[in-house]
């Protein structure tokens, strides 16, 4: 396939970028650009945990502050860490490509358009919740969505450590595809499944190590939702105005339609005289 055509397809149909590469089912999240508090929390998480490696070189601090209703003074005080950065500057970092390649093997990509090109907010929401310990990897972690990922789990201190169990009890499946139940107690019958059999059966278990992580599972899920929500906004900030303007356009068209209909009737009368 022509490379340019393939790149165009990735932009138009971003889902094919990951649907063809892995079988892990993505968890759904519904972005909400009207939830300014969520977007503000997501922006704060990004600036504190992501910006050191991943820039947003097509987004400006001022645009972000205006859209998210953050006073410029608070933006500069709490989300801009370089004293030489101005509110109108692009959201960039100081990591050189040479150092990035030396440390990680490849320069971390800019994430301004990530939510549009990587598969949407569902991909990011699931990805950031499915890191697990893997001693065979250089950074000690792997990911269910992005196998053999080269990125460290920067939110591990919040989420805690997750491991993949060797074996686990799973529901036994009948020949008709249903779940087997005990005929007397009606309880689901389980069986032990291990290794690749778990993956072949569609099970992707991760277990959190108790006592690790400063957040509960629900708190961490909320944090990742806010971050994915912010990334969805950054991918196309015009979504906010586009939705609002679209309502006015539809109202105008509905209003104009009445006059166009009446005018059409008058023309029709003249035509049939």
Dist. CA 221–CA 92, nearest whole Å: 27
The structure's pTM equals 0.75
* pLDDT tens, residue by residue, 149-172: 888 999 999 999 999 888 878 888
Question: Is residue 48's pLDDT more than 50?
Answer: yes
Question: Is residue 140's pLDDT more than 50?
Answer: yes
Region 92-99: mean pLDDT is 85
Identify the pLDDT of residue 11.
40
Identify the pLDDT of residue 13.
41
Which two three-digit tokens encode residue 149? 């990922």
3-state SS assignment for residue 62:
helix
Which two three-digit tokens encode residue 196? 């690749």
Dist. CA 200–CA 198, nearest whole Å: 6
30 or 105, which is more confident?
30
At how many degrees (to 10) do helices 217-235 and 36-49 cross? Answer: 90
Identify the pLDDT of residue 23.
66
Residue 7 banded pLDDT, cuts 50, 70, 90:
very low
- Share of residues in the chain with pLDDT > 90 (%): 47
Question: Is residue 19's pLDDT more than 60?
Answer: no
Dist. CA 181–CA 190, nearest whole Å: 9
Residue 273 banded pLDDT, cuts 50, 70, 90:
low
3-state SS assignment for residue 171:
strand
Phi first, then psi, for residue 161 (nearest 5°) are -85, 140
The closest alpha carbon to 47, from 240, 237, 226, belongs to 226
Region 227-245: mean pLDDT is 89
Region 34-59: mean pLDDT is 95
* pLDDT tens, residue by residue, 57-88: 999 999 999 999 999 999 999 999 898 999 99
Dist. CA 114–CA 111, nearest whole Å: 5
Identify the pLDDT of residue 95.
85
Residue 15 banded pLDDT, cuts 50, 70, 90:
very low
* pLDDT tens, residue by residue, 178-226: 888 988 888 998 888 887 777 677 777 888 998 899 999 999 999 999 9
Where along the chain do its domains lie?
3-164+206-236
Quick count: other Cβ atoms within 10 Å of Cβ 216? 12
Identify the pLDDT of residue 269.
78
Question: Is residue 9's pLDDT more than 50?
Answer: no
Region 112-120: mean pLDDT is 80
- Fold of domain 3-164+206-236: Cytochrome Bc1 Complex; Chain D, domain 2 (1.10.760)
Dist. CA 31–CA 73, nearest whole Å: 27
> How much is the mean pLDDT over the chain?
85
* pLDDT tens, residue by residue, 25-40: 899 999 999 999 999 9
């Amino acid at each position: 396939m022509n490379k340019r055509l393939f790149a165009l397809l990735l932009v138009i149909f971003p889902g094919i970028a990951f649907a063809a590469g892995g079988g892990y089912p993505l968890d759904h999240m519904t972005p909400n650009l009207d939830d300014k508090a969520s977007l503000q929390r997501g922006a704060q998480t990004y600036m504190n945990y992501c910006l050191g490696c991943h820039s947003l070189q097509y987004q400006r601090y001022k645009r972000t502050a205006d859209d998210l209703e953050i006073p410029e003074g608070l933006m500069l005080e709490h989300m801009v860490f370089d004293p030489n950065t101005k509110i109108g500057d692009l959201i960039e970092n100081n990591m050189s490509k040479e150092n990035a390649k030396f440390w990680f093997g490849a320069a971390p990509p800019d994430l301004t358009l990530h939510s549009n090109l990587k598969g949407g907010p569902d991909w990011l929401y699931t990805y950031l919740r499915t890191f697990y310990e893997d001693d065979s990897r250089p950074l000690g972690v792997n990911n269910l969505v992005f196998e053999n990922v080269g990125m460290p789990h920067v939110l591990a201190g919040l989420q805690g450590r997750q491991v993949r169990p060797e074996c686990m009890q799973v529901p036994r499946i009948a020949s008709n595809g249903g779940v087997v139940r005990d005929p007397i107690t009606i309880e689901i019958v389980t069986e032990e499944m291990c290794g690749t059999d778990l993956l072949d059966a569609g099970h992707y278990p991760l277990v959190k190590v108790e006592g690790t992580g400063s957040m509960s599972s629900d708190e961490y899920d909320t944090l990742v939702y806010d971050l994915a929500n912010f990334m969805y906004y950054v991918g196309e900030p015009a979504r906010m105005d586009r939705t609002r303007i679209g309502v006015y356009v539809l109202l105008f068209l509905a209003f104009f339609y009445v006059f166009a209909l009446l005018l059409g009737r008058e023309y029709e009368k003249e035509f049939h005289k």
